[in-house]
Protein backbone atom coordinates (compact mmCIF):
# COMPACT_ATOMS: atom_id res chain seq x y z
CA UNK A 1 0.00 0.00 0.00
CA UNK A 2 2.81 2.39 0.96
CA UNK A 3 4.59 1.54 -2.30
CA UNK A 4 1.45 2.34 -4.30
CA UNK A 5 1.17 5.74 -2.61
CA UNK A 6 4.79 6.50 -3.43
CA UNK A 7 4.31 5.52 -7.08
CA UNK A 8 1.12 7.58 -7.36
CA UNK A 9 2.82 10.59 -5.79
CA UNK A 10 5.79 10.29 -8.12
CA UNK A 11 3.53 10.10 -11.17
CA UNK A 12 1.59 13.16 -10.03
CA UNK A 13 4.80 15.12 -9.51
CA UNK A 14 6.07 14.07 -12.93
CA UNK A 15 2.81 15.22 -14.52
CA UNK A 16 3.21 18.65 -12.96
CA UNK A 17 6.68 18.91 -14.46
CA UNK A 18 5.44 18.29 -18.03
CA UNK A 19 5.05 21.64 -19.82
CA UNK A 20 1.63 22.34 -21.29
CA UNK A 21 1.46 22.70 -25.06
CA UNK A 22 0.99 26.36 -25.91
CA UNK A 23 -1.01 27.58 -28.87
CA UNK A 24 0.78 29.20 -31.78
CA UNK A 25 1.07 32.96 -31.44
CA UNK A 26 -1.31 34.67 -33.88
CA UNK A 27 -0.32 38.22 -34.83
CA UNK A 28 -2.27 38.42 -38.09
CA UNK A 29 -5.21 40.43 -36.78
CA UNK A 30 -7.09 39.94 -40.06
CA UNK A 31 -7.14 36.21 -39.35
CA UNK A 32 -8.39 36.67 -35.79
CA UNK A 33 -11.09 39.14 -36.84
CA UNK A 34 -12.36 36.79 -39.54
CA UNK A 35 -12.37 33.91 -37.06
CA UNK A 36 -14.58 36.05 -34.82
CA UNK A 37 -17.02 36.57 -37.70
CA UNK A 38 -16.08 40.21 -38.26
CA UNK A 39 -15.77 41.95 -41.61
CA UNK A 40 -12.36 43.27 -42.68
CA UNK A 41 -11.53 45.99 -45.21
CA UNK A 42 -8.23 46.65 -46.99
CA UNK A 43 -7.09 49.93 -48.48
CA UNK A 44 -5.51 49.55 -51.90
CA UNK A 45 -1.96 50.88 -52.27
CA UNK A 46 -0.28 51.42 -55.65
CA UNK A 47 2.03 54.30 -54.75
CA UNK A 48 5.67 53.74 -53.76
CA UNK A 49 5.66 56.66 -51.32
CA UNK A 50 6.26 55.42 -47.73
CA UNK A 51 4.34 58.36 -46.26
CA UNK A 52 1.32 57.53 -48.40
CA UNK A 53 1.60 53.89 -47.40
CA UNK A 54 1.78 54.76 -43.69
CA UNK A 55 -1.21 57.09 -44.03
CA UNK A 56 -3.20 54.18 -45.47
CA UNK A 57 -1.89 51.68 -42.90
CA UNK A 58 -2.82 53.96 -39.99
CA UNK A 59 -6.16 55.26 -41.27
CA UNK A 60 -8.37 52.51 -39.87
CA UNK A 61 -8.15 49.81 -42.53
CA UNK A 62 -7.74 46.24 -41.28
CA UNK A 63 -5.12 45.51 -43.94
CA UNK A 64 -3.36 47.11 -46.87
CA UNK A 65 -3.96 45.61 -50.31
CA UNK A 66 -0.55 46.29 -51.87
CA UNK A 67 -1.17 46.20 -55.59
CA UNK A 68 1.71 44.54 -57.44
CA UNK A 69 -0.29 43.05 -60.29
CA UNK A 70 -1.54 46.33 -61.74
CA UNK A 71 1.17 48.77 -60.71
CA UNK A 72 4.89 49.32 -61.37
CA UNK A 73 5.72 48.75 -57.69
CA UNK A 74 8.92 46.79 -57.10
CA UNK A 75 9.54 44.43 -54.20
CA UNK A 76 12.34 46.67 -52.94
CA UNK A 77 9.94 49.64 -52.80
CA UNK A 78 7.28 47.54 -51.14
CA UNK A 79 9.71 46.17 -48.56
CA UNK A 80 10.82 49.71 -47.71
CA UNK A 81 7.24 50.94 -47.29
CA UNK A 82 6.24 48.05 -45.05
CA UNK A 83 9.37 48.40 -42.91
CA UNK A 84 8.89 52.16 -42.52
CA UNK A 85 5.42 51.52 -41.11
CA UNK A 86 6.22 48.63 -38.78
CA UNK A 87 3.63 48.37 -36.04
CA UNK A 88 0.82 49.97 -38.03
CA UNK A 89 -2.63 48.47 -37.32
CA UNK A 90 -3.22 47.45 -40.95
CA UNK A 91 -1.66 44.09 -41.83
CA UNK A 92 0.28 44.08 -45.13
CA UNK A 93 -1.26 41.92 -47.86
CA UNK A 94 0.27 41.74 -51.35
CA UNK A 95 -1.53 40.95 -54.58
CA UNK A 96 1.30 39.27 -56.42
CA UNK A 97 1.50 39.24 -60.23
CA UNK A 98 1.18 35.45 -60.30
CA UNK A 99 1.37 32.36 -58.09
CA UNK A 100 5.03 31.69 -58.84
CA UNK A 101 7.78 30.96 -56.37
CA UNK A 102 9.78 34.14 -56.90
CA UNK A 103 6.84 36.52 -56.43
CA UNK A 104 5.48 34.76 -53.36
CA UNK A 105 8.89 34.28 -51.76
CA UNK A 106 9.70 37.99 -52.07
CA UNK A 107 6.28 39.00 -50.75
CA UNK A 108 6.53 36.78 -47.68
CA UNK A 109 10.17 37.73 -47.07
CA UNK A 110 9.29 41.43 -46.89
CA UNK A 111 6.74 40.61 -44.19
CA UNK A 112 3.41 40.27 -45.99
CA UNK A 113 0.98 38.15 -43.97
CA UNK A 114 -1.48 37.88 -46.83
CA UNK A 115 -0.83 36.62 -50.36
CA UNK A 116 -3.56 37.51 -52.86
CA UNK A 117 -3.51 35.35 -55.99
CA UNK A 118 -5.14 36.85 -59.11
CA UNK A 119 -6.86 35.09 -62.00
CA UNK A 120 -7.37 31.68 -60.42
CA UNK A 121 -8.73 29.27 -63.01
CA UNK A 122 -7.05 26.07 -61.87
CA UNK A 123 -6.61 24.11 -58.66
CA UNK A 124 -2.90 23.82 -59.42
CA UNK A 125 -2.47 27.59 -59.21
CA UNK A 126 -3.88 27.68 -55.68
CA UNK A 127 -1.82 24.67 -54.62
CA UNK A 128 1.31 26.44 -55.87
CA UNK A 129 0.41 29.52 -53.83
CA UNK A 130 0.11 27.47 -50.66
CA UNK A 131 3.28 25.54 -51.45
CA UNK A 132 5.44 28.63 -51.95
CA UNK A 133 3.91 30.64 -49.05
CA UNK A 134 4.21 27.96 -46.38
CA UNK A 135 7.30 26.44 -44.77
CA UNK A 136 7.81 22.66 -44.55
CA UNK A 137 6.16 20.36 -43.73
CA UNK A 138 3.11 22.11 -45.25
CA UNK A 139 4.85 23.74 -48.19
CA UNK A 140 8.24 24.30 -49.79
CA UNK A 141 9.03 27.88 -48.91
CA UNK A 142 12.76 28.29 -48.40
CA UNK A 143 13.91 30.11 -45.30
CA UNK A 144 16.30 32.60 -46.89
CA UNK A 145 16.66 36.17 -45.73
CA UNK A 146 14.30 39.08 -45.44
CA UNK A 147 12.76 41.45 -42.95
CA UNK A 148 10.00 39.12 -41.75
CA UNK A 149 11.74 38.55 -38.41
CA UNK A 150 12.15 42.26 -37.84
CA UNK A 151 8.47 42.73 -38.58
CA UNK A 152 6.94 39.85 -36.65
CA UNK A 153 9.45 38.54 -34.12
CA UNK A 154 12.19 35.99 -33.59
CA UNK A 155 9.67 33.11 -33.56
CA UNK A 156 8.54 33.90 -37.11
CA UNK A 157 9.72 30.56 -38.57
CA UNK A 158 7.67 28.64 -36.02
CA UNK A 159 4.57 30.82 -36.38
CA UNK A 160 4.49 31.87 -40.05
CA UNK A 161 2.43 28.93 -41.34
CA UNK A 162 -0.37 29.86 -38.94
CA UNK A 163 -0.28 33.58 -39.78
CA UNK A 164 0.29 33.84 -43.54
CA UNK A 165 -3.07 33.81 -45.33
CA UNK A 166 -3.92 32.82 -48.92
CA UNK A 167 -6.60 34.72 -50.83
CA UNK A 168 -7.69 33.17 -54.15
CA UNK A 169 -9.31 35.57 -56.63
CA UNK A 170 -11.94 34.24 -59.01
CA UNK A 171 -12.28 36.61 -61.94
CA UNK A 172 -13.86 34.55 -64.72
CA UNK A 173 -16.62 32.01 -65.40
CA UNK A 174 -13.89 29.35 -65.71
CA UNK A 175 -12.82 30.05 -62.14
CA UNK A 176 -16.40 30.14 -60.88
CA UNK A 177 -17.06 26.76 -62.47
CA UNK A 178 -14.46 25.12 -60.21
CA UNK A 179 -15.08 27.25 -57.11
CA UNK A 180 -15.78 24.12 -55.07
CA UNK A 181 -12.38 22.64 -55.98
CA UNK A 182 -10.54 25.91 -55.33
CA UNK A 183 -12.16 26.33 -51.92
CA UNK A 184 -11.31 22.73 -51.03
CA UNK A 185 -7.53 23.25 -51.35
CA UNK A 186 -5.94 22.99 -47.88
CA UNK A 187 -4.37 26.29 -46.91
CA UNK A 188 -6.86 28.61 -48.65
CA UNK A 189 -8.36 31.17 -46.27
CA UNK A 190 -10.46 33.45 -48.50
CA UNK A 191 -12.00 33.10 -51.95
CA UNK A 192 -12.56 36.50 -53.53
CA UNK A 193 -15.15 37.41 -56.18
CA UNK A 194 -13.46 39.96 -58.46
CA UNK A 195 -16.60 41.80 -59.51
CA UNK A 196 -15.26 43.94 -62.36
CA UNK A 197 -13.26 41.22 -64.09
CA UNK A 198 -16.06 38.70 -63.61
CA UNK A 199 -18.18 41.11 -65.63
CA UNK A 200 -15.42 41.67 -68.18
CA UNK A 201 -14.75 37.98 -68.78
CA UNK A 202 -18.40 36.92 -68.77
CA UNK A 203 -19.77 39.86 -70.74
CA UNK A 204 -22.47 40.22 -68.09
CA UNK A 205 -23.33 43.19 -65.89
CA UNK A 206 -23.84 43.11 -62.15
CA UNK A 207 -27.50 42.47 -61.47
CA UNK A 208 -27.90 40.21 -64.50
CA UNK A 209 -29.26 36.88 -63.19
CA UNK A 210 -26.50 34.96 -64.96
CA UNK A 211 -23.83 37.19 -63.43
CA UNK A 212 -25.36 36.88 -59.98
CA UNK A 213 -25.51 33.11 -60.39
CA UNK A 214 -21.73 33.03 -60.98
CA UNK A 215 -21.05 35.18 -57.92
CA UNK A 216 -23.47 33.17 -55.80
CA UNK A 217 -21.82 29.91 -56.79
CA UNK A 218 -18.43 31.16 -55.60
CA UNK A 219 -19.93 32.44 -52.36
CA UNK A 220 -21.91 29.29 -51.61
CA UNK A 221 -19.10 26.84 -52.38
CA UNK A 222 -16.63 28.87 -50.32
CA UNK A 223 -18.92 29.00 -47.29
CA UNK A 224 -19.63 25.29 -47.67
CA UNK A 225 -15.86 24.64 -47.48
CA UNK A 226 -15.66 26.65 -44.26
CA UNK A 227 -13.79 29.66 -45.66
CA UNK A 228 -14.51 33.38 -45.92
CA UNK A 229 -15.80 35.12 -49.03
CA UNK A 230 -14.30 38.34 -50.36
CA UNK A 231 -15.45 41.04 -52.73
CA UNK A 232 -15.41 44.79 -53.42
CA UNK A 233 -16.30 47.15 -50.59
CA UNK A 234 -19.52 48.04 -52.41
CA UNK A 235 -20.67 44.49 -51.63
CA UNK A 236 -20.29 44.96 -47.88
CA UNK A 237 -24.02 44.45 -47.33
CA UNK A 238 -24.26 41.31 -49.41
CA UNK A 239 -24.96 38.25 -47.31
CA UNK A 240 -22.01 35.97 -46.58
CA UNK A 241 -19.18 38.38 -47.44
CA UNK A 242 -16.46 39.23 -44.89
CA UNK A 243 -13.27 40.30 -46.73
CA UNK A 244 -13.29 43.48 -48.82
CA UNK A 245 -11.00 45.47 -51.09
CA UNK A 246 -11.39 49.16 -50.34
CA UNK A 247 -10.51 52.19 -52.49
CA UNK A 248 -7.01 53.22 -53.48
CA UNK A 249 -5.06 56.21 -52.28
CA UNK A 250 -5.86 58.37 -55.31
CA UNK A 251 -9.59 57.82 -54.87
CA UNK A 252 -9.32 58.64 -51.18
CA UNK A 253 -7.37 61.85 -51.89
CA UNK A 254 -10.05 62.91 -54.35
CA UNK A 255 -12.88 62.09 -51.92
CA UNK A 256 -11.03 63.83 -49.08
CA UNK A 257 -10.50 66.94 -51.19
CA UNK A 258 -14.16 67.02 -52.17
CA UNK A 259 -15.19 66.72 -48.52
CA UNK A 260 -12.76 69.46 -47.46
CA UNK A 261 -14.02 71.81 -50.14
CA UNK A 262 -17.58 71.21 -48.97
CA UNK A 263 -16.61 72.34 -45.49
CA UNK A 264 -16.24 69.00 -43.75
CA UNK A 265 -14.53 69.25 -40.37
CA UNK A 266 -11.58 67.03 -39.40
CA UNK A 267 -12.36 64.71 -36.46
CA UNK A 268 -11.31 66.34 -33.19
CA UNK A 269 -11.42 69.91 -34.55
CA UNK A 270 -14.01 72.66 -34.23
CA UNK A 271 -15.69 74.43 -37.10
CA UNK A 272 -14.08 77.81 -37.68
CA UNK A 273 -10.84 76.86 -35.90
CA UNK A 274 -7.82 76.28 -38.13
CA UNK A 275 -5.71 73.20 -37.44
CA UNK A 276 -2.29 73.79 -35.92
CA UNK A 277 0.46 73.18 -38.47
CA UNK A 278 2.51 70.13 -37.66
CA UNK A 279 -0.21 68.59 -35.51
CA UNK A 280 -1.53 66.25 -38.17
CA UNK A 281 -1.69 62.58 -37.14
CA UNK A 282 1.23 60.51 -38.41
For the annotated catalytic residues, the residue numbers are: 70
Q: For Cα atoms 261, 263, 266, give the angle at the middle one, nearest 5 degrees.
A: 105
For CA atoms 220, 36, 86, 21, the dihedral sign is: negative
Residue-wise over 41-72: b if at least 16 C-beta within 10 A, else e?
Answer: bbbbbbbbebebbbbbbebebbbbbbbbbebe
Pairing mode, strands 241-248 and 40-45: parallel
Q: For Cα atoms 207, 211, 216, give the angle at the middle one, nearest 5 degrees.
A: 95
The alpha-carbon radius of gyration of the chain (Å, integer) is 23
Q: How many residues does the chain have?
A: 282
DSSP single-letter state for residue 233: G
Please list the residues that pair with 94 across neighbouring strands.
66, 115
> Going by C-beta distance under 8 Å and a sequence separation of 6 or more, which residues neighbour residue 185?
123, 126, 127, 130, 168
CA distance 188 to 38: 18
CA distance 168 to 179: 10
Q: 68: closest CA among 41, 84, 47?
A: 47
Secondary structure (3-state) at 116: strand
Q: Give the CA dihedral 244, 249, 253, 254, nearest 10 degrees.
A: -70
Amino acid sequence: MQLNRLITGALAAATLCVPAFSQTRIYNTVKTKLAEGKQVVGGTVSSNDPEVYCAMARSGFDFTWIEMQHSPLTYQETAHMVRMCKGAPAIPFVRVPDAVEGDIQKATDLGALGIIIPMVESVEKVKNAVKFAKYPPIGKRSQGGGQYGEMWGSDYRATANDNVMIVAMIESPAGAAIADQIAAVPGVDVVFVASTDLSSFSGLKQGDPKYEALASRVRDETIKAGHKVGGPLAWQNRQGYHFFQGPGETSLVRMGAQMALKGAVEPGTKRGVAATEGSEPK
